[in-house]
């Protein structure tokens, strides 16, 4: 798991993600989501991206529940909801971040 220019343990390849508000979790091991999602959200806010689409897939729903559980705990998240059919339906979650004050 990796975002941007972090250092990685020997033998682990970095995954460089564009910070554009769309995060497709299919490329990641589900156990990495706990660290990846908060880090990605933080980078989005730094870049002025406040509306995100997290693609978790439909499957059994366990990854969706994990994503929602993480989002509930993050203070920078204003709200989130399942995407409409045009944006992935229940296989994606739309996230709306709080904008910085000032």
For the chain, the structural domain boundaries read 22-97
**CATH class as words, domain 22-97:** alpha beta
What are the tens digits of pLDDT across the range 45-101? 999 999 999 999 999 999 999 999 999 999 999 999 999 998 889 899 999 999 988
DSSP 95: E
Q: Which residues contact 79 (CB under 8 A, 6 or more apart)?
A: 95, 96
Cα–Cα dist 94/64, whole Å: 12
Q: Is the pTM of this model over 0.75?
A: yes
């Amino acid at each position: 798991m990796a975002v941007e220019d972090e250092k990685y343990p020997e033998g682990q390849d970095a995954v460089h993600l564009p910070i554009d508000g769309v995060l497709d979790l299919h490329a990641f091991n589900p156990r990495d989501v706990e660290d990846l999602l908060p880090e990605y959200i933080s980078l989005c806010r730094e870049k002025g991206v406040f509306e995100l689409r997290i693609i978790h897939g439909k499957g059994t729903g366990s990854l969706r529940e994990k994503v929602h559980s993480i989002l509930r705990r993050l203070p920078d998240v204003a709200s989130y909801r399942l995407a409409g059919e045009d944006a992935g339906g229940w296989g994606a979650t739309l996230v709306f971040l709080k904008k910085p004050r000032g």
